[in-house]
Structures are given as C-alpha cells and as structure tokens.
Amino acid sequence: MKTEIEVKFLNVNFNELRDELTRLGAKLEQPMRLMRRVIIEPPGLSAKDAFMRIRDEGNKVTFTYKQFTDHTAFSGVKEIEVVVSSFDDTVAILAAAGLSHKSFQESRRETWQLGNVEIVLDEWPWLHPYIEIEGTSEDDVMNAALLLGFEWSAAVFGSVTTAYQAQYPEGNASQLVNIEKVAFGEPIPNIISGQKEE
C-alpha cells in the first residue's frame, strides 16, 4: 500500500493563497471543479478504520481503499488506488456484489503543483475552505507549508472529518460517512453541527 504524506491547513483564504502560489511560480493543474464520491464501509473495514471510495474527480474516476493508521501523523494514511472508466458502473458493480454505499458526497477541488508537492484547495458542504499539501517526503511537505506562510502549529492530519470536527466541536464528525447526502445546498445535519433537535 502507498503511504500518503500530507497535511491540512484550515480556514484558508483561497484568493490570497492563489496570489501567493502564482508569485512562487506554482502551476495550476486543475481549476476548481465539482467532485462527487460514494463511501463504502462494510463492517470489516470500519473495524480497521478503513473504507472504499469511488470518486469522480472531473478529469478521471478513481476507486480507492484507504486505511488510517494514525490520525495525528504525516504518514498515517495508507491507500491503494486505481483509475476506472465509469463512476456509475463501478458503483453498480459493487452494489451488485452487496457493497452498497451509505453516503454520497460532493466537494469542490482545485489542484496546483509547487515543485515536488501538490496543493489542493478544498471546499465541502458546511465547512470553511481548507487546503491539503501532499508530497513524497515530509521535508517537501513541511517546506512548502512554511514557504506559503502557514504556521506548523496549525497543521492538521487525517481525513476531512478532522476539519469538520475542528469547526463543529460539539458535533460528531465521525458520522459523516453515515449521512446519506453530503451536498452543497443541503441543510447541515444536527449530528455534524452539534445542534440539539427541537
């Protein structure tokens, strides 16, 4: 399995970041586009803190197995990923095999390349914008973060649920995978916001 080396920084002003990326000579690889994904989490995988994901990335469709080994570390995520030809057909194949998805999720993503690292600007429903910096070494990722002006003490590791939990500390972000539709324009569920039902 491949080890992901990545870090997140939350509550980012994308316009200021784009200006800085441009100043540093970064290359815009993919402009902001809508992405859609389904999450499949059979009991055997959830017990291993793992899940499968089918994601339409705009320019390709990927089928991924992700496993979290440490939610507080650079290299705490392992993954296996392949490119598939069809989002809908891959969803249908797994459903026919008894592996239906629990959650359909939307996000928006913009991708930049700065030297040896990839920088993605992410927008999710109900969440302040954040970025991920991913590279092949911890030094590359850390240097890129510092070059862009981020304080390392603000670094966050783990999946998008980490960002939700930081923004909604009274909520239960681990339940994101159980929300049927995480989409722009949908009302935020109480389980995420932490609001009590009336």
Q: What is the pLDDT of residues 74-107, one digit of tens each?
A: 666 788 999 999 999 999 999 999 998 989 999 9
- Inside any domain, residue 15: yes
- Count of structural domains within the chain: 1
- Inside any domain, residue 140: yes
- Inside any domain, residue 18: yes
Tell me the CA distances in angstroms from 81 to 2, 42, 53, 65, 67, one per residue in order. Answer: 9, 18, 9, 6, 12
What CATH number is attached to the domain comprising 78?
2.40.320.10
CA distance 118 to 27: 10
Determine how β-strand 103-114 pairs with β-strand 27-40. antiparallel
- Inside any domain, residue 70: yes
- Inside any domain, residue 54: yes
- Inside any domain, residue 138: yes
pTM over 0.75: yes
- Inside any domain, residue 132: yes
- Inside any domain, residue 198: no
Taking residues 37-61, report their average pLDDT: 86
User: pLDDT class for 73, splitting at 50, 70, 90?
Assistant: low
pLDDT digits (tens, 9 = 90+) for 147-166: 999 999 999 998 899 999 99
- Domain span at residue 151 reads 2-193
pLDDT digits (tens, 9 = 90+) for 115-159: 999 999 999 999 999 999 999 999 999 999 999 999 999 999 988
The enclosing H or E element of 145 equals helix 138-147
